[in-house]
């Protein structure tokens, strides 16, 4: 199995983990909102400080679900894995070290995908074919 194939499977498993995490939040909205309201660390943050605990729970569900769908589909992999790293780091700021294992798994998976990539091999070959060097090689071969 090639390195790109391994990263492809890591990306798919990581996306499935985020699907499970988002559906777990959606399935236990009251409990998640209660854990948000217990910590209260997020209330002083600039963007999310004005939200109630229930609103923050819905936004967490929506953002995680959108991230997992795009990561599993292979769209904007490096950009969205960077966003996931930022979200993983902010989850430590919001929750502290409550349920740190889940947040550490999210952060670790996003770091691996962000650093190493994770696009399928056929997309990489298409990008190589469309690159300028390959394009000039094909043009010179035609002449």
- Residue-wise pLDDT tens digits, 84-142: 888 878 777 777 776 677 778 878 878 877 777 655 555 556 655 655 555 566 666 66
Nearest-angstrom CA–CA distance, 5 and 118: 8
Cβ atoms of 77 and 71 within 8 Å: the answer is yes
Burial 19-38 (b: 16+ CB within 10 A, else e): bebbeebbeeeeebbebbee
Q: Which two tokens stand for residue 2?
A: 């090639």
pLDDT(42) > 80: no
CA distances from 124 to 31, 69, 110 (A): 43, 20, 20
Domain containing 76 equals 3-142
Taking the model in full, what pTM does it have? 0.63
Higher pLDDT, 5 or 133: 5
Nearest-angstrom CA–CA distance, 126 and 43: 46
Task: For residue range 64-80, list pLDDT tens digits in order.
Answer: 888 888 888 877 777 87
Task: For residue range 8-31, list pLDDT tens digits in order.
Answer: 788 888 888 888 888 888 898 898
How confident is the model at residue 78, as a pLDDT? 74
**How many domains is the chain built from?**
1
Cβ atoms of 103 and 91 within 8 Å: the answer is yes
Cβ atoms of 109 and 10 within 8 Å: the answer is yes
How confident is the model at residue 129, as a pLDDT? 62
């Amino acid at each position: 199995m090639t390195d790109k194939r391994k990263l492809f499977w890591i990306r798919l498993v990581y996306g499935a983990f985020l699907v499970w995490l988002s559906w777990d939040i959606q399935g236990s909205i009251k409990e998640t909102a209660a854990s948000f309201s217990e910590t209260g660390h997020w209330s002083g943050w600039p963007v999310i400080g004005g939200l109630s605990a229930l609103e923050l729970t819905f936004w967490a569900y929506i953002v995680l679900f959108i991230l997992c769908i795009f990561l599993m589909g292979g769209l904007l992999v490096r950009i969205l894995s960077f966003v996931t790293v930022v979200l993983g780091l902010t989850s430590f700021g919001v929750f502290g070290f409550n349920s740190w294992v889940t947040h550490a798994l999210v952060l670790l998976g996003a770091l691996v995908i962000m650093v190493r990539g994770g696009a399928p091999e056929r997309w990489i070959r298409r990008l190589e074919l469309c690159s300028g060097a390959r394009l000039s090689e094909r043009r010179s071969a035609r002449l």
